[in-house]
Amino acid sequence: MNVGRKKLKSDQMYLRLALFLAFLFQTTLLSAQSVADFAPLVNPATLGQHVEVLASDSIEGRETAEPGMQKAVSYVEKQFQSFGLKPPFNGSYRQEVPFVKWNVNSYDVGFGENMYEAGKGFYMMPPGHSNPLFVSGKAFWVCAIDTLPNTVNITKQSMVLLLTSHMKNITDDSLNNLINESVKKLSVSKVAAIVVERNFDGDREKRQIRRMNSGMLALVKQESSAQPPVCHISPSVYKDIRKKSKREKGSSSPIIHLKENFTIKINGYRTTCYNVGGILPGGDAGDQYILVTAHLDHLGKRDSVIYYGADDDGSGSAAVMNLAAAFAEAKRQSVVLKRSILFLLFTGEEKGLLGSTYFTENPPIPMEQTVANLNIDMIGRVDTVSRKDNRYVYIIGSDKMSKDLHQLSESTNNTCCQINLDYTYNDESHPMRLYYRSDHYSFVKKGVPAIFYFTGLHDDYHKPTDTADKLDYVKTASIAQLVFSTAWELANRPDRITVDQKR
Ligand SMILES: [Zn+2]
């Protein structure tokens, strides 16, 4: 019995010792797990699968607020949910972004029942706000566009006609500038500026008409300035106006009167799209956030031709999802990083950084708690202009606001990846102005240091031929792993990086 009891005791001891050793072994194993153990989860195969979906026919080029984009949003939402990320937006993975959209049917221009056809008799750019606009009247102030006085008493005139027919040799850019400057002089509400174009067949005019036809989008905002709408009419519409008008008494008067009302009506419609996000909660500094971002939207379809946007920015979107999965797996294996990471895919980037602008105006977490933004936009192709190898990435913005960020970016790369970090486009005055051209810039404007990862332009940029089969997924994975390791360091280093310079 005693022996038996002794044996039982020693058995228990051995069991306890074994459990203790197992525990020690396991904790040692866990604490030894590091960024290098999880980086391989970011890989060419997974990236390729995501890009194939985002750049498929059924997603229709992911045009903001169009059905294909809504499908892409659902796809990302399901991914974030399946990784076990937390929803950042009041229990939702989606942030609703309100837009106003104008298309070719949004404009009515003409006399009473006789309206001109958009793109034939006139074209318009939408106003800077979302309110419907209606200007109608019988009196016009008429003058050559370069002779419009600085102060015009046009309170009685609802229309100002600006003639350009004499400006034969001016460049398109100069003419656009001249129009903008002239319109600024008319900062009176309920007045429309009507530019009589020299012709309607020029490249500039065709470009503008294409823009109008493809629909224009803006964030919903209130009427902020009294800048008048600008309507561009063809020489033949101008002829109609002159036929129906007579000049005011006194030959030098710039005012003509019409027999019937000329009307300009602009009516945009409200629509919505979404930013999609997911949070990986951090540990003892979990109220600080690293933002890993890309844009989900692209150009959609033009006359049923799909612009797939596999590189722009299918590559970045795929990378953000793959990074999220890798970080989530680390968390599942009990690796808790100090800070939180918010993975975000934006809408409306191609329309002027609209989704990221909305996010920074309506953040679910205080912007002061945002440590840094790592933004990935086009990392799937090799720059056909200036590069041949595939071990490089253009780094833009890393040194602009935080020395810590720049140093961390470089030292992480030395440790993990040894990719050639190319700063060609980091110069703010580079003619391509890339520092201002992706969503990271919305964060820079709010004082958040950011890095924009980019691998350059190529022949398929913003063309229907930017397709999934042309991506170099090995290269994409190597850059995505660099972003993974950089995000890991940012999230896990003892101190938050400091910001030396606000923009
Ligand atoms: Zn892009």
Span from the CA of 447 to the centroid of ligand 1 (angstroms): 22
Span from the CA of 219 to the centroid of ligand 1 (angstroms): 19
Whole-model pTM: value is 0.83
Successive 10-residue mean pLDDT values, the chain, 503 residues: 47 62 50 86 98 98 97 98 98 96 90 89 81 84 88 71 90 90 78 88 88 85 69 94 84 84 90 97 98 97 94 98 98 97 97 96 96 98 80 96 98 97 94 94 97 95 97 97 98 96 74
Task: Measure Cα distances from 435 to 368, 442, 447 in Å.
Answer: 22, 11, 14
Task: Measure Cα distances from 327 to 265, 331, 336, 339, 471 in Å.
Answer: 52, 6, 10, 12, 24
User: End-to-end alpha-carbon separation of the chain, Å?
Assistant: 81
Span from the CA of 438 to the centroid of ligand 1 (angstroms): 7
Span from the CA of 396 to the centroid of ligand 1 (angstroms): 14
Q: How many CB atoms lie within 10 A of CB 121?
A: 19
Q: What residues sit around ligand 1, an ion, with C-beta below 5 angstroms?
A: 312-313, 377
CA–CA–CA angle 282, 287, 484 (5° rounding): 45
Task: Specify the DSSP element, H or E, that contains 331.
Answer: helix 316-332
Contact 444, 374 (CB under 8 A): no
Span from the CA of 488 to the centroid of ligand 1 (angstroms): 24
Q: Which amino acid is at 96?
A: E
Span from the CA of 411 to the centroid of ligand 1 (angstroms): 27
CA–CA–CA angle 421, 426, 431 (5° rounding): 130
Q: What torsion, rounded to 10 degrees, do the Cα atoms 127, 128, 131, 136 define?
A: -30
| d(C-alpha 43, C-alpha 414), whole Å | 19
Span from the CA of 294 to the centroid of ligand 1 (angstroms): 8
| d(C-alpha 120, C-alpha 240), whole Å | 14
CA 353 from chain centre, in angstroms, equals 3
Q: Where are the domains of the chain?
A: 35-86+281-492, 102-269
Span from the CA of 309 to the centroid of ligand 1 (angstroms): 8
Span from the CA of 103 to the centroid of ligand 1 (angstroms): 23
Nearest to 33, CA basis, from 323, 326, 317, 277? 326
| d(C-alpha 412, C-alpha 224), whole Å | 45
Q: How many CB atoms lie within 10 A of CB 294?
A: 29
Span from the CA of 316 to the centroid of ligand 1 (angstroms): 8
Span from the CA of 191 to the centroid of ligand 1 (angstroms): 37
The CATH code belonging to domain 102-269 is: 3.50.30
Span from the CA of 123 to the centroid of ligand 1 (angstroms): 27
| CATH for the 35-86+281-492 domain, from 3.40.630.10, 3.60.20.10, 3.40.50.1370, 3.20.20.70 | 3.40.630.10
